Amino acid sequence: MATKVVMPQLGESVVEGTVTQWLFQEGERVKEYEPLLEVNTDKVDTEIPSPTEGVLLKIVVPAGTTVRAGSVLAWIGEAGEDIPESDSSAVEPKPAPQEDVAFGEATRPMAATPPRPRRELGFISPVVAHLAQEHNVDLSQVRGSGMGGRITKRDVLNFSEERRTQSPPPAASPPGAPLESPAWETPGEGDLFRPTEMMFGEAKQPKTTPPQPPATERVIPLTPVRKAIADHMLLSKRTSAHVTTVMEADLQAVTQHLAAHKPVYARDNVRLTYTAYFVAAAVEALKEYRIFNASLTEKGLLLHPTVNIGVAVSLGEDGLIVPIIRHAEAISLLGLARAIADLAQRARNRQLKPEEVQGGTFSITNHGVGRSLFATPIINQPQCAILGVGVIQKRAVVIHDAIAIRPMVYLSLTFDHRIIDGAIADGFLAKVVERLENWR
Amino acid sequence: MPEMTLIEAIRTAMDEELGRDTSVFIVGEDVGQRGGVFRATQGLFEKYGAERVIDSPLAELSIVGVGIGAALYGMRPICEIQFADFIHPAFNQIVNEAAKMCYRSNGQWTVPMVIRAPYGGGISGGLYHSQSVEAFFAHVPGLKVIIPSNPYDAKGLLKAAVRDPNPVLFFEPKKGYRLIRGEVPEEEYTVPIGPARISRSGRDLSVFAYGMMHHYALQAAERLAEEDIQVEVVDLRTLYPVDKATILTSVHKTGKALIVYEDNLTGGYGAEIAAILAGEAFTDLDAPVQRLAGPDVPGVPFSHPLQEWFMPNPDKIAEAMRNLAAY
């Protein structure tokens, strides 16, 4: 039986991708794991390996076409083999529960997904249709408790609630069409840095022409990405008890260190920036205050063994992305500067791998880029805090009863008051400030 | 807080308004010396005199016409129509004069008048003492239509109606006059015209009702709670203008709606609620919108078994709730 090649979901909130290039022609033989095609999404560019060995029977989605995650891209099988008629459409309409996907993890090959026969759903009321779309529920999996086995509103809500409590919530999916995506492609919670994505929509507006006020009211349908962001923002606000505390740091020592070491690092082809110092200071504080490198789970507080810091990187008009610096606790300032420069460079070139934007345990947002003094960032779930860095400005400050001009910055720490109390948060933030002010 | 009946609350409201404002007066059939056929004005003739509690001829057209004229001269009449069934001779005065006065004079003239009328069946009144007439008037912009379901609202809404600058029709569920009791505070208060009230919160279905049917809907909802069906009951209170927000919010929560009214089904007031839900809550609906109302026969029959057949009651409402919950 022929095997299908499916558009994977390359990161949370990424629901579609564009086929940029096929590396094989129809009729050519391809080996298992061999790069088969290149795809491009809003977040990353990547190659998709062949799920199996065989002949590329049919390319369903030609290069240059954008399709939703879960869509069938191609069929691989033995020469002359038939392709299942009903499954050759670009978008796969059949429900495919995860247990049917023989794809356990990234290193295992993708196998054919046996289509499950569609169950007679009976009458679908307006609210059931609406909720199924909103909660991304495949109605064929919902047991109906209404008259004649009809699926009721409560059935959908119960199903959605059970799924939410049993497994991490699935990424956003396009309306109506239940899509399949291999289990390994389902990203975990909290991989993207939501506050920065808030700017995503606006950032694409051309800057030269000021927006004209529309003559009449009109509705702009939310894109799946926008909807996912909206959901995640609200989820975070609903989940955590957000409190923000702000402190001021004198960056005199950091500025001097930066000026002295920038040329040295440049010899190693590493561009040293303030960001490396903020990351390093945050890592120091995280080592001392382990509770900030944790997630609240039903069983209790989950302390993460490693410090994985997400740092926002601007993509210009295309918005922002938050690559993760893994094992930041074991990296020197040089290493951090190198990692930041490397991730930033590849982020701008859309070369990040999906795993490089997943698994963060603490986030830093540099809202000072936009001249913001301080902010109240939203926590990136399931993390428990986020550090906002304001604009660095020379200000008159009093030192030993004399007025001095110093490069100053406001640091805003938003923390989850369910886990962390104010005094501890202030201790953490004071530690960051102390580290920055006494940089040697 | 003293407990009183619906009729006592209405009488107290009129007593207080007569005492508060000398421009307030009552006019109607038998409202003076006799104190009204339902005793709504009992004692007021003795307290405020024949010039402020006026016995009228048996001519509803003139009761309302007098009220409109007095209102245009700065008075605040409370017109009593002895039974809502007899309001029809005054229809022209209400619809063509009172309702349109403010609009056609570009706001220069208003008619601050209240028309009180007992309505509804279930009291063996037969064809001419059982009618529900709210749908006729809840169709007319320029009028406000109120139907209270309990003594607290009756007093507060009637006082608000007396103080309103425009004509208000105040229909009283006469079956509940002495049947429905409730606490009414002694201190001054009014209930705003407009907002509906969620009288019982529930997750499974919403029931919209007013007057006596609201009273029955609450009883039915209590029974269903024993069957683990949680019914949300909304007392509409003001029929026109209607409180859409409360209605839509409730159905957004429950997904199911039952509207109960004792008027004839076709073109009855509940049809408007059903239309609002069809138009503005379509994607919230998990079941067809249901109406439980009187059958389409020319009147509430006098024969007791036939009257029972006509009138919605807690049994019928509970059955309709059960069916809707099971959908």
- The four Cα atoms A22, A26, A28, A29 give a dihedral, to 10 degrees, of 80
Radius of gyration of the CA atoms of chain B, in A: 19
Structure tokens at A58: 């049919």
Cβ atoms of residues B41 and B26 within 8 Å:
yes
What residues of A are in contact with residue B283 (Cβ under 8 Å)?
126-127, 129-130
Q: Residues A135, A261, A304, A417: which is the catalytic one?
A: A417
Angle at B9 (CA atoms; ends B7, B10), nearest 5 degrees = 65
Q: Which spans in B281-313 are helix H? A: 304-310
Do B283 and A127 lie within an 8 Å CB cutoff?
A: yes
pLDDT of residue A196: 36
pLDDT value at residue A182: 40
Does B255 sit within 8 Å of A125, measured CB to CB? yes
Residues of B in contact with A153 (CB under 8 A): 255, 286
Q: Closest approach of chain A CAs to the CA of B252, in angstroms?
A: 9
Identify the pLDDT of residue A406. 93
Q: Which residue is closest to B287 within chain A, CA to CA?
A: A125
Q: Distance between CA A137 and CA B113 in Å, rounded?
A: 55
Counting as low any pLDDT under 50, the low residues of chain B are: none
pLDDT at position A191: 36
Set of chain B residues whose Cβ sits within 8 Å of the Cβ of A127: 255, 283-286
Contact B145, B240 (CB under 8 A): yes
Taking contacts as CB-CB distances below 8 angstroms, the residues of chain B near A126 are 282-286
**One-letter amino acid of A305:** P
Tokens of B80: 């009593």
Q: Which value does ipTM take for this structure? A: 0.73
- Please state the φ and ψ torsions of residue B274, each to the nearest 5 degrees: -60, -40
Q: CA A383 to CA B267: how far, in whole Å?
A: 57
Nearest-CA distance from A150 to chain B in Å?
8
What is the distance between the alpha carbons of residues B116 and B171, in angstroms, rounded to a whole number? Answer: 6
Options B129, B214, B252, B304, the catalytic residue: B129
What is the C-alpha to C-alpha distance for residues A71 and B122, in angstroms, rounded to an integer? 64
Asked if residues A307 and A287 have their Cβ atoms less than 8 Å apart, the reply is: yes
Q: Are A388 and A412 in contact (CB under 8 A)?
A: yes
Mean pLDDT by 10 residues, chain A (440 residues): 81 75 89 86 78 88 84 86 61 40 38 48 89 89 87 91 73 44 39 37 49 69 68 85 93 91 86 91 91 88 90 67 87 89 84 82 88 90 90 92 93 92 93 92
The tokens for A249 are 């740091």
pLDDT for the residue numbered A341: 87
Using a CB-CB cut-off of 8 Å, the residues of chain B touching A128 are: 286
The rounded distance, in Å, linking the Cα atoms of A331 and A339 is 9
Test A126 with B282 for CB contact under 8 angstroms.
Answer: yes
The B76-80 sheet, strands edge to edge? B53-55, B24-28, B76-80, B114-119, B168-173, B144-146, B238-240
Task: From residue B160, give the alpha-carbon distance in Å to each of B178, B210, B214.
Answer: 22, 18, 21
Burial B63-95 (b: 16+ CB within 10 A, else e): bbbbbbebbbeebbbbbbbbbbbbbeebbebbb
* CB spacing of B255 vs A146 below 8 angstroms: no
- Which one of A123, A152, A158, A161 makes the best mutation probe of the B interface by having the most chain B beta carbons within 10 Å? A152
Judge whether A400 counts as a catalytic residue.
no
Q: Which residues on neighbouring strands pair with residue A39, listed in sequence order?
A: A19, A46
- In total, the C-beta contacts within 8 angstroms joining chain A to chain B are 27
Q: What is the pLDDT of residue B138?
A: 98
Distance CA B125, CA B85 (A): 11
- Closest residue by Cα to residue A383 from A298, A308, A295: A295
- Which residue type, as a one-letter code, is found at position A122? G
**Considering only CB atoms, which chain A residues are within 8 Å of B326?**
146-147
B299 CB within 8 Å of a chain A CB: no
| Torsion angles phi and psi, residue B326, rounded to 5 | -80, -15
Cβ burial, residue B121 (10 Å; 0-12/13-18/19+): buried
CA torsion through residues A284, A286, A290, A293, sign: negative
Task: Please give the pLDDT value at position A69.
Answer: 80
Judged by CB atoms closer than 8 Å, whether chains meet at B327 and A147 is answered as yes
User: Hey, is the C-beta of B248 within 8 angstroms of any chain A C-beta?
Assistant: no
Nearest to B326 among A130, A147, A153 (CB): A147
In angstroms, how far is CA B78 from the centroid of its own chain? Answer: 15
User: What are the φ and ψ backbone dihedral angles of B78, each rounded to 5 degrees?
Assistant: -115, 105
